[in-house]
Chain A
């Protein structure tokens, strides 16, 4: 299987002073893998995630995502790459003045899909995340768990190559968290989507032997 993500001698710095948070990291993630990245607070988990969607440029080394080297990528290419990614945030990052349905089809809208396809896909995905009846409501009218399900539906809407999730259940109760993990696991198994989850703790719900990396002392190590 081909690598969807590949880091070699990756060094990431953060802030105006260029504080080094990850140094000389080497790792690869293949297509269809479900991967956890854990580590203590301030270890650089979110910084790594930002680098993976091109928000942060590597200070040194290479970081290749979906065949594109993010250490040296043009804005146009980065925008195109992002249309093949699904991103889930702890604070959901939904557009509050848009309806749930419109939020879900945002990636399709950006890719220029016709309205009919957007409608069909929105209906299918909202049914999948059990929010079909909330399609025309606004995010702030929903609970945290429901908002995150909208976030998952949005991440899945364009069948992305990779889904990056930053503490996706950080603000949710156990029940809502389990629903989110189920949805993500299904996406990985049924759609062969690579899923990379940054979290401070691996949920106990997972029984399958998924790969697990830990960030510690600026290094990224695989836990066996």
Chain B
């Protein structure tokens, strides 16, 4: 019973840290695709007096990566219903040129304002509409959610770390005498801490398996039936095999730090 309790007292906080890491990985993956969509979906509208090429726009600002011309005929067709052909030709001739400009990266308000300023400095450009407000309110909400989750993960990791330190104190008490006696008789570090390492490695494997199992279940069963769009669309991103390596690596790192801190704080012989 004591043996199981000792293991669980280490496995649970370790699992909490690993869950935090996995949540972070999953969230990064799913939000990255969402973020990419946000960026790709964004374009600014530019109205020019004369036709312009992408290279013309790029000489004004290097962040412009694409320029899609909006066909004027399409706009005129809607306007000139019931108007004579000669009049519609006059309207078409008087109409300026419209472009959707795409950017090479996500830019904050100041960046968008700078592009707007650069474009408006060209006499050929009549109007620039960045749609900055809508874009930023979406992105800020998204960033806020992301930030809150990261804070939660960090908080969870800190609390778990304290639990691990507490457990290390118990280990230190339980193994101190044995390690000290072994040290007196010349046992090298690896031999006298061997039991601790074995125990901690087993716990690291168990914690990794449990966390991987939870996410496998979420990916294969729960996500598909959840009815939550972002989960259903990103089902593949919920768990990858490479995550097992990341989780196990992290668990081993925590274990090594935990065991070494016990071993080094147990050095020396009691009076």
Contacts and interface: CB of A to CB of B under 8 A. Distances in A.
A195 to B, nearest CB: 17
Given A50-B269, A55-B269, A96 B177 contact: yes
B269 A106 contact: no
Interface residues of B, number: 14
Contacts of A96: 177
Interface string B178-207: 101110111110010000000000000000
B81 to A, nearest CB: 93
A87 B269 CA distance: 13
Contact of A82 (B177, B178, B180, B186): B186
A82 B185 contact: yes
A79 B188 contact: yes
Contacts of A110: 182, 185-188, 191
B177 A79 contact: no
Contacts of A98: 178
Contacts of A95: 177-178, 181-182
Interface in A12-60: 46, 50, 53, 55
B268 A79 contact: no
A107 interface: yes
A209 B186 CA distance: 33
A82 B184 contact: yes
Contacts of A85: 185-186
A79 B186 contact: yes
A93 B186 contact: no
Contacts of A94: 181
A50 B269 CA distance: 9
A116 interface: no
Interface in A168-189: none
A79 B187 contact: yes
A21 B176 CA distance: 28
A87 B268 CA distance: 15
A83 interface: yes
Interface string B130-156: 000000000000000000000000000
B184 A81 contact: no
Contacts of B269: 50, 55
A80 interface: yes
A97 B178 contact: yes
19 contacts: A55-B184, A55-B269, A79-B188, A80-B186, A81-B186, A82-B184, A82-B186, A83-B186, A87-B184, A87-B185, A94-B181, A95-B177, A95-B182, A96-B177, A97-B178, A98-B178, A107-B185, A110-B186, A110-B187
Interface of A: 46, 50, 53, 55, 78-83, 85, 87, 93-98, 106-107, 110
Given A55-B268, A82-B186, A95-B182, 8 more contacts: A79-B187, A79-B188, A83-B185, A83-B186, A106-B181, A107-B185, A110-B182, A110-B191
